[in-house]
């Protein structure tokens, strides 16, 4: 009788197996869904997009930053799985007001949750659904958008010579006539790339934060709904 009961439980468990999951399985699926969207810088734990920033909304970008932070924490690359509003603004280049509104939208979608006042983390049970939604949104884009982007005239970025690292590269770009006008982190990133200096997006935004807060060599300037950067002379 006891053997029959165990056998029946095993049979039921086998039937339910596709529904059962655990933390490692969830992490594996998150990584698989993330590969088409971003990577994580192994030295900093920062998000590195592998899709054009212009193809995702501010809300999606903030959500991806939170997912990347969660995964970086699991990999031992970050000290915590949450990010403050200030962190998210620094990494994304989105201004405080817009970021706060979009984070409220992510909370309403149950993608983000509040850890403390002004501090957020991704809701891990809903992270997989969020990544799938971002992927579906990209797939639904007008195929002509890519062609339009390729045909669009590129900006006349300044030319710089050899650099000793990302911070040096940023300072050299901002010291050119082009850089005397406030530039967003995305413009700076694109200017570096045009000079064949390929740094991760998180590396560039993180270095800008260091140049502003710690080294005091760059200052932030408000530009409508964006944040610009200029040399602090």
Give the SS3 label for residue 184: coil
Digit-coded pLDDT (tens) for 72-116: 999 999 999 999 999 998 888 888 888 999 999 999 999 999 999
Assigned token pair, 63:
């959500």
- Fold match, 14-141 / 161-231: yes
Domain range annotation of the chain: 14-141, 161-231
Distance CA 63, CA 17 (A): 30
Q: Helices marked H in the chain — which ranges?
A: 2-16, 23-34, 58-74, 85-92, 96-108, 124-139, 144-151, 166-174, 185-194, 201-213
Give which of 163, 176, 170 is closest to 205, Cα–Cα: 170
Instruction: Report the top-level CATH class of 14-141.
Output: mainly alpha
| Whether pLDDT at 147 is above 50 | no
Residue in the block written with tokens 């053997």: 3
Please give the CATH architecture assigned to the domain spanning 161-231.
Orthogonal Bundle (1.10)
Digit-coded pLDDT (tens) for 21-79: 677 888 999 999 999 999 998 888 999 888 888 889 999 999 999 999 999 999 999 99
Beta-bridge partner residues of 194:
none
């Amino acid at each position: 009788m006891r053997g029959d009961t165990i056998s029946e439980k095993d049979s039921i468990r086998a039937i339910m197996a596709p529904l059962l999951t655990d933390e490692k399985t969830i992490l594996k699926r998150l990584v698989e869904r993330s590969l088409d969207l971003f990577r994580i810088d192994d030295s900093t734990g920062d998000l590195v997009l592998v899709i054009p920033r212009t193809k995702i909304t501010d809300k999606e970008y903030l959500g991806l930053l939170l997912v990347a932070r969660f995964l970086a924490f699991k990999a031992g690359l970050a000290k915590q799985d949450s990010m403050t509003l200030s962190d998210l603004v620094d990494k994304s280049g989105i201004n405080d007001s817009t970021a706060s509104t979009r984070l409220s939208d992510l909370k309403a979608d149950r993608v983000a949750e509040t850890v403390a006042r002004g501090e957020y983390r991704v809701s891990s049970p809903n992270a997989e659904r969020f990544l799938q939604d971002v992927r579906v949104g990209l797939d639904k884009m007008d195929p002509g958008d890519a062609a339009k982007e390729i045909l669009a005239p590129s900006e006349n970025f300044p030319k710089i010579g050899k650099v000793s690292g990302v911070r040096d590269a940023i300072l050299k770009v901002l010291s050119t006539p082009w850089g005397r006008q406030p530039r967003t982190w995305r413009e700076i990133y694109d200017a570096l790339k045009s000079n064949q200096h390929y740094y991760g997006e998180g590396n560039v935004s993180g270095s800008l934060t260091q140049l502003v807060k710690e080294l005091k060599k760059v200052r932030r300037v408000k530009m409508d709904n964006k944040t610009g950067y200029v040399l602090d002379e």
